[in-house]
Structure 1
Amino acid sequence: MTTAVMNTKDTAGETTVVEVSVGERWFTVCAYDALVPGRGVAALVDGRQIALYRDRTGAVHAVGNRDPFSGAHVISRGLLGSRDGVPVVLSPMYKQAFDLRTGACLDEEEAPDGTPAALPVWPVRTTNAPVGSAS
C-alpha cells in the first residue's frame, strides 16, 4: 500500500508524519519531509527491519529490508526506479528488482533457499501531527 502526499505542513503547527501498520497497530516512523525522494531509510518497527522509500511522485512505500537472495539487511540502500511502469527497488547486492507495491521479485521466482523471492510489504499512511511529535 502506498500513499501520495502533496501538502506536508499546514498553518496549525502540524507536520505530516509517515506511519506503518504492523499487525493491527500503526507506528509513527518519521516526518514525511525527512524522507528524501529516491533514497531509502531503514527503520526498526515493532521488531521488524523495514525499508522505507519516498519516490519522486511523493508516494511512500514500506518493504522488508532483508534481501532474500543474500540474507543481508540492505534493501534500504537499493536504487529506486521503474520497470514497465511498476515502481521498483533494485537490491544493492545482486540487483534483482522488487515491486514496491507487492514485494514480488520481477527477475526470479525463488530465492536460493527455495522460498518465494519476495519482500514483505506493509501498509503506509501519512497523517498530520503536532510539530515535534514525529520520531
Structure 2
Amino acid sequence: MAPVNAQRIDVSPQWQVLCSRQDLVPNSGVVAWLDGAQVALFYLPDAEEGRQLFAVDNHDPHAGANVIGRGIVGHLGGDLVIASPLYKQHYRLEDGTCLEYPEQRLRTWPVRLNGEVVEVGL
C-alpha cells in the first residue's frame, strides 16, 4: 500500500512547437532541428491507422548518415515503415524498430498537430 503522503508523478510530455502544418509535405518527410537532433517528420493525412504524424530520428544508424527524412513511406508485414534511402532497411514509424536489424532503432518522439502547429513531446 502506498504511503498516505505519496504524490502522483505526471509523466505527460512537455510540448514544444517545432514547425507549422504548412511546413509538412503530405506522404513525405521533412527534417527539423530539435535541441541538437535532426527530427524527421512524416505527415500521412490518409493513414488507415488513424495516426497521421510521426517524428523519428533523421540519423540512419546502419548507414551513419542523416537521411531518414528522404526515405520512402510504405507498409511491410502489416507495419507502417520508412525505408532508408541508402541501404533500404525498414524502420517502423510507430516505435523506430528496424525490421532487418532489430538491435538498431531510430529514436522517436511523441508528436501532434495542435491547430496549425506541430508540437513535439520532450
TM-score category of the 2 structures, normalised to the smaller one: 0.7 to 0.9
1:49: which partner in 2? 38
C-alpha separation between the residues in 2 aligned to 1:118 and 1:86? 15
Find out whether 1:26 has 2:6 as its counterpart: no
- Number of aligned positions between the proteins: 103
Runs of 4+ in 1 over 3 A off after TM superposition: none
| TM-score, structure 2 as length reference | 0.75
Residue pairs, 1:1-135, within 5 angstroms: 24-57=13-46, 59-109=52-102, 116-128=103-115
C-alpha separation between the residues in 1 aligned to 2:115 and 2:44? 20
Gaps of 5+ in 2: 1-11
Identity of aligned residues (%): 40
SS state of the match for residue 101, structure 1? coil
Q: Give the aligned CA root-mean-square deviation in angstroms.
A: 2.0
SS state of the match for residue 105, structure 1? coil
Whether the aligned pair in 2 keeps the contact of 1:89 and 1:99 (CA below 8 Å) is yes
Matched residue type, 2:113: T
| TM-score, structure 1 as length reference | 0.69
What is the CA deviation profile of residues 47-78 of structure 1, one whole-angstrom value per residue up to 9, with x for unaligned ones? 11110001242500000000011110110000
The higher-RCO structure (CA 8 Å, 6+ apart) is 1
